[in-house]
Amino acid sequence: MAKPILLSVDDDSDVLRAIERDLRAQYGAEYRVIASDSPTGALELLKQLKVRNDGVALVLADQRMPNMDGVGFLQEARQIFPEAKRALLTAYADTNAAISAINQANIDYFFMKPWDPPAEHLYPQLNDLLDDWRASYRPAFEGIRVLGTRWSPRSYELRDFLARNHVPYQWIDVELSANDPETKLLLEALGPEATNLPVVLFPDGTKLLETVPSEVAQKVGLRTHAETDFYDLAIIGGGPAGLAAAVYGASEGLRTVMIEREAPGGQAGMSSRIENYLGFPTGLSGADLARRAVVQAKRFGVEILSQEAVGVRTEGPYRIIKFADTNEISCHALMIATGVQWRRLEAPGIDRLQGAGIYYGGGATEAISCSGEIIYVVGGANSAGQAAMNFAKYAERVVILVRGDSLSSTMSQYLIDQIKEMPNIQLWTHASVAEAHGETHLEEISVLCSDTNKVERVPASAMFIFIGALPRTDWLSGIVERDERGFILTGPDLIRSGQRPKGWALDRDPFLLETNVPGLFAVGDVRHGSVKRVASGVGEGSVAVQFIHQYLSKV
Ligand SMILES: Cc1cc2nc3c(=O)[nH]c(=O)nc-3n(C[C@H](O)[C@H](O)[C@H](O)COP(=O)(O)OP(=O)(O)OC[C@H]3O[C@@H](n4cnc5c(N)ncnc54)[C@H](O)[C@@H]3O)c2cc1C
């Protein structure tokens, strides 16, 4: 925990040095002693300390200073740190001024110069003041603070990114907590910068204004640059399939890098409770599974890069990956484990309000904000069911919208049973979203009821969309063969009429999980014909490493 601060201010350098020395000698072990020779400089410093969330226990100022006297300075300091004890250093001649300052300006004490010996004239009184201060002092949060507004898509994107990467932070909604005294003081200390939201404040005093996840990633130490430019195995995508491949690859001695553009865990990381993964009889959250897998991968030496892959090419035995920031790395074996992304819901208002009440997927960071509200979940698959169960813990009412007449053909029975037991979950069948309404954030939705052919307009605080997913593999077109929906073909799917794929020059067939490019593998949800489950992704990622060993033995 950072030590609280004792600040002394005096334009007379001899007095300043003396008070600093005496404070440090007595209190240096428990407090940080800071000195300033100008009241305006000291006020600036106090504002910086406020932004850093430091605690200030005492402000001690000389009464006679040019431009601003001690009483004036202490009154301004009080606006920034109201709880700090305020004391004045005065000459004998100023005693009357000091006494009236105590009465009028809420100053806690005045000390006469000189204060020798300090053991008699300084420390006993300061001990009293500091004991008093300590009694009501609550140490401030010491990690990252994110300032933004609930309905801002950029704030949402940032919070989601931090949460999914397991970076602890404190969220400060500047609108909702506008009347909170501490937030007010912080915003005042930030001045005009407080309007450049989202703002991220770091414990070292630095800040990022109007920031985006990639900037924060660099600052919090998520690696964005590769340690070296060549790897035995590179994996694009850090969902269950990519993580499993990384663990197996690295544990079997391959120099392995895993590239993930959002957060390790992939879709599974958004799941509030995975109940069918072997070995976890009471289920576990996707975030927990992802965290465990990342720790395991790192233990085996996997390098995890926070980057987006935007291109792949081959040069002889080398597979080269290009990143969004234009950097490149190369490898012998490359694995595509990029999974699938949510299908977009096409209706007026949806795109405009995305991130401001409308979210694709779990929106884990939003669940708690939905306390006491009416929210909608669109879709009838397991992912929608899990989300509804999670939101029902917080929301007043959760309404699941499905086009069909029941959940039975799309959702597992265990989830249907759990949903039936939840009194605040309601199923609305034959329903589809026709429009989303709201100026700055979602307020209402229009629902088309296919059984009555009527449109109903209902209030909605938030809507979470789970309507199936598609692979986004356009950036791989011309490199790997894909089916008509973009899923990547592997192994036997590439053999047509007994013929190996075009351009295939090896005297063997592609391995089971290998694409039409030797040494380039595809696993998990992105692969044509894969079973879209955590366990199957993990299985494919692990098995592929065996084929990679076979491939590498002949490179
Ligand atoms: C809400 C929800 C609940 C679910 N619940 C269950 C369940 O209970 N049980 C179950 O078995 N399955 C469940 N599933 C399905 C399961 O999560 C998926 O089948 C599984 O995550 C697929 O793993 P994957 O590694 O193939 O792909 P994904 O999990 O989709 O991971 C792919 C990763 O690749 C990254 N990526 C994509 N493109 C790039 C790029 N160009 N550069 C860098 N990175 C990229 C993505 O950001 C993503 O992190 C659920 C899915 C969802 C969405």
- pLDDT attached to residue 510: 98
Residue 221: the pLDDT is 83
Q: What is the pLDDT, as a whole number, of residue 25?
A: 97
For residue 525, give every residue at least 6 positions away whose Cβ sits within 8 Å of its Cβ, in sequence order, or none. 239, 241, 267, 339, 340, 469, 471, 532, 537
Pairwise CA distance, residues 144 & 204, whole Å = 9
Give the pLDDT of residue 170.
Answer: 92
What tokens were used for 443? Answer: 């307020």
Q: How far is 349 from 294, CA to CA, in rounded Å?
A: 37
In this structure, the residue with its CA closest to atom 20 of ligand 1 is 534
Q: Are 73 and 18 in contact (CB under 8 A)?
A: no
Look at residue 67 in the predicted model and tell me its pLDDT. 87
Span from the CA of 331 to the centroid of ligand 1 (angstroms) = 24
Assess contact for 121 and 112: CB atoms under 8 A. Answer: yes
- Residue with CA at minimum distance from ligand 1 atom 6: 274
3 state SS of 377: strand
Q: Are 312 and 319 in contact (CB under 8 A)?
A: yes
Give 265 Cα–ligand 1 centroid separation in angstroms. Answer: 7
Nearest to 289 by CA among 277, 301, 281: 277
Q: What is the pLDDT of residue 476?
A: 97
**Orientation angle between helical segments 153-164 and 286-299, nearest 10 degrees:** 50
Question: Rounded to whole angstroms, how far apart are CA atoms 404 and 379?
Answer: 10
Q: Which residues of the chain have pLDDT under 70?
A: 363-364
| pLDDT for residue 98 | 80
Query: For residues 278, 281, 282 and 285, what is the CA-based torsion angle, rounded to 10 degrees?
Result: -10
Instruction: Compute CA distances 165 → 84, 342, 390, whole Å.
Output: 36, 20, 20
DSSP β-ladder status, 85-90 and 109-112:
parallel
What pLDDT does residue 205 have?
A: 87
List all residues whose CB is within 6 A of at least one atom of ligand 1. Answer: 236-242, 259-262, 266-268, 270-271, 274-276, 308-309, 337-340, 361-362, 382-383, 386, 524-525, 532-535, 537
Q: How far apart are the C-alpha atoms of 182 and 205, rounded to whole Å? A: 17
Query: What is the phi/psi pair of residue 253, to 5°?
Result: 90, 5
Beta carbons of 269 and 162 less than 8 angstroms apart? no
pLDDT of residue 365: 72
CA 172 to ligand 1 centroid distance, Å? 30
Q: What pLDDT is attached to residue 364?
A: 65
Q: Tell me the pTM.
A: 0.80
* Predicted pLDDT at 363: 64
> What pLDDT shows up at residue 108?
92
Question: Quick one: which of 506, 447, 510 has its CA closest to 481?
Answer: 510
What was the pLDDT predicted at 465?
A: 96
**Residue indicated by tokens 């089971």:** 512
- Give the pair of three-digit tokens for residue 225: 């640059």
CA dihedral 245, 251, 253, 257 (to 10 degrees): 50
How far away, in angstroms, is 368 Cα from ligand 1 center? 23
Please say whether the beta carbons of 312 and 303 come within 8 A: no
Which amino acid makes up residue 90? Answer: T
Among 236, 338, 528, residue to substitute to test ligand 1 (most atoms within 8 Å of Cβ) = 338
d(CA 246, CA 258): 7
First to last CA, the chain: 53
- Return the ligand 1 atom nearest residue 532 CA: 19
Alpha carbon of 143 to ligand 1 centroid (Å): 29
- Alpha-carbon span 343 to 275, nearest angstrom: 24
Tokens of 474: 């356009």
Give the distance (Å) from ligand 1 centre to CA of residue 154.
23
